[in-house]
Chain A
Amino acid sequence: MSLLLEAIDVHKSFSFPEKIDLLKGISLKVKKKCSIAIMGASGEGKTTLLHILGTLESFDKGQIVINDNNIAKIDKPYFRNNFIGFIFQFHNLLDDLTSLDNVLMPARIGRKKTIKKQEGLKLLKMVHLEHKANYPIKLLSGGERQRVAIARAFCNHPKLILADEPSGNLDHENSQIVHQLLLDCVKKEEKTLIVVTHDESLATLCEEIYILQSGILIKRK
């Protein structure tokens, strides 16, 4: 199967408040339609790595190619809008909008007139929330909000889904629902998933597991 993402010798350091070499040569190959989990202790740089892969954060050295695009040389906002779907630990939905408006927000940002309301409803149906399409976000529970965030990540048909502790803010029952839903959606929509998590149960649902330790990424067998 061909590669969707390849990271070669990626370095990242922070100089404030003191010099820290966080990532010391990360190399990673992710195949299309594959799901991988990245685990590691807090402060090891998992979120930083995810943000680098998602073009939200710059890196000092190395090369990252996603879908044959060298991300150092691309229009990053356009790339994020078209190729990447983000799911965060906190849902990060827009409070003033309804579920449907939130789901369709990536399409609005990308000015994609072809993606219409029906598509948004379809995505909400995928996360079993079509009946709450017109609910304001503030009237949804934490689990429901995270499911809306998952639906939003699939808008614009991205090739890569990046999830950062998607159930970190939920109770056990809701976490299990969200995990299953996320993996089901990824399989159904044939997307590639990179998920950063502490949750072993979520990691075991993925095809590959990596551990980030002391700035190095190691594949767990």
Chain B
Amino acid sequence: MFEFFIALKYLMPGKKRFAASLISLMSIGVISLVVWLVLVFLSVINGIEENWINKLTSLNAPLRITPTDHYYSSYYYLSDSISMISDYNTKNIREKQNTEGNSNPYKYDTDMEIPQSWAKPHLNKKGELVDPVKIAFGILSKHQDIAYEDYELSASIMKIAIQRENKNLSFLTQMIYLAAICEKNPHIKHLLLPPSNEDINNFNKNLSQIDKEKLHSALPTSLSVTLENNIEPVFLPKSLKDSGICVGDRGYLSYNKNSSFTHQEQHISIYVAGFYDPGLLPIGNKCVLVNPNVTQMINKAAAVFSPDGTPMNGIYVWMKDPFKAKKWKSSLEQEFINNDIAQYWKITDFSEYEFAKDLLQQFQSDKMLFSLIAIIILIVACSSIISMLILLVNDKKREIAAMQAMGASKKNIAIIFGICGVTTGLISSIIGILAALFTLNHLDVLVDMLSAIQGHAAFNVMFFGNHLPNTLSIKALLLILIATPIISLIAGIIPAIKATKLSPSNILRSE
């Protein structure tokens, strides 16, 4: 293709075309700089978003399956409240899952009459009661590449005694939210903070020999061991460590139990088993992790509301890549429809979580806004190609005329300058991308430099961690690889049109 051959020759800088070469080098430099800036910025934003999403989805899984109103008004759920076998109490998801044998606890002969306002039992083709919990767990168990576990939330008042040598006994009393520990959560061990020396000393001092042996035999598979005298382990958010609490400190959880005539205060003894990083959970500083039986016990005694709109009981589903949560959601929804249990469950991915929705939407808006700004900056940068190519056209007028005399059509001439534009854009993109990759690999050096100039940390460790997160944004890379050559081509069209308007006869005659 002779157009490509000529375009490449024209793009080679030469001593004779010093001005054109200088402008062309400047154009490449400016576009490369913009590409570098866009890629580094969007990759850092991408890294921060990914980091935050990982934090958001480590305690709360990327996918949540929660019962719908239909579930709570179904015969399947309500039947336990009138059945002697169920002790006349409705069951949470874990209890439903662990129910052995027949899913229908109701006995016509012994239990009270079913209220007429209730929904009719949902029966399968065999005439058996459809069990949406067991079917849902059955569907989940077929997928080897996901982890899942039911969760339950609750609330109570926590009181912890702080006794240190040479200091008076003090207490920390706080209203807290309780979340059942999901031991199948693949991130749980990373969330727990390693104990300090003070923690270890305090822990050993408060433990009996039996408790030590109990703990020793449980670790490392289980993190939460109930001690002698039913003392329950709790994991506190790391912010409470600043209040002087250490691992091994003891106290109790207080909640009210409603009876027919009065409220009774109940206590559950606890010890601090460790601290965890709640990530970006808005109620993270008040959320305490406990054994599932604790939340179950409190919820049975009194109805508790969810502080941030998170459903109180449900199933968490973790997958290797949280960004595939949407895909999993669609796939599971379809399977639930196929198994006739879709009406009982609502599947939500992390982007729809009540506490994360606004933050994630803001991230999307920021990325969209900067992408638009990036395109505008790219257009401005690529416009320098126009001046570069117009200079080239003026410089090469005689050769353009000679080529036309040799049979080159206007289209051929336009293609030559179009290729010049696209090639300039592509070369600039490649230089910018390579520079961005280098920068992203050595981002800490850049951050250290910025911090040194400012005299304080350029990026807050609380928000961004010890290293500024960055993940090469594939979308930004595609945007650059597609947009830059297109904008460069458009920039090359104006000089190309100018070149085709030249009259070869006039140019050759003017010599």
Contact residues of A with B, CB < 8 Å?
A: 47-48, 51, 54, 56-57, 77-82, 86, 88-90, 92-97, 105-106, 108-111, 138, 152, 156, 164
Contacts and interface: CB of A to CB of B under 8 A. Distances in A.
Contact of A96 (B9, B401, B407, B412): B9
B5 A94 contact: no
B5 A108 contact: yes
B407 A81 contact: yes
Nearest to B509: A47
Contact of A109 (B398, B407, B508, B511): B407
With a 10 A CB-CB cut-off, give which of B14, B16, B403, B406 has the most chain A CB atoms.
B406
B438 to A, nearest CB: 32
Smallest CB-CB A-B distances: 3 pairs: A81-B407, A108-B2, A92-B402
Contact of A54 (B2, B405, B511): B405
Contacts, number: 77
B504 interface: yes
A77 B409 contact: yes
A192 to B, nearest CB: 17
B508 A96 contact: no
A93 B403 CA distance: 9
Contacts of B508: 47, 51, 56, 88, 92, 164
A51 B409 CA distance: 16
Nearest to A58: B505
A109 B504 CA distance: 16
A82 B407 contact: yes
Nearest to B406: A106
A140 B504 CA distance: 25
Given A90-B511, A109-B2, A95 B399 contact: yes
Given A77-B409, A80-B405, A95-B399, 4 more contacts: A80-B407, A82-B407, A89-B511, A90-B398
A81 B406 contact: yes
B2 A105 contact: yes
A86 B404 CA distance: 11
Interface residues of B, number: 25
Interface string B1-34: 0100110011010101000000000000000000
B406 A96 contact: no
Contacts of B9: 94, 96-97
B408 interface: yes
A152 B404 CA distance: 14
B399 A92 contact: yes
B16 A86 contact: no
Contacts of A97: 9
A156 B412 CA distance: 18
Interface in B346-405: 398-399, 401-405
A100 to B, nearest CB: 13
Given A51-B505, A88-B508, A111-B2, A94 B402 contact: yes
Contacts of A106: 406-407
Given A48-B509, A95-B16, A105 B403 contact: yes
Contacts of A95: 16, 399
B505 A109 contact: no
A79 B401 CA distance: 16
7 contacts: A47-B508, A56-B504, A77-B404, A80-B407, A94-B403, A96-B10, A109-B403
Interface in B486-511: 504-505, 508-509, 511
Contacts of B14: 96
Contacts of A111: 2
B416 to A, nearest CB: 11
B407 A110 contact: yes
A80 B509 contact: no
Contacts of A105: 2, 403, 406
Contacts of B402: 86, 88, 92-94
Contacts of B398: 90, 92
A164 B404 CA distance: 16
A93 B409 CA distance: 18
Contacts of A89: 511
A56 B406 contact: no
A150 to B, nearest CB: 14
A152 B399 CA distance: 14
A144 B14 CA distance: 22
B511 A94 contact: no
B378 to A, nearest CB: 29
A96 B7 CA distance: 11
A109 B399 contact: no
B505 A56 contact: yes
A78 B509 contact: no
A95 B398 CA distance: 11
A109 B12 contact: no
A5 B95 CA distance: 103
A57 B12 CA distance: 32
A167 to B, nearest CB: 14
A102 B252 CA distance: 93
Contacts of A81: 406-408
Contacts of B403: 94, 105, 109
Nearest to A104: B2
Contacts of A47: 508-509
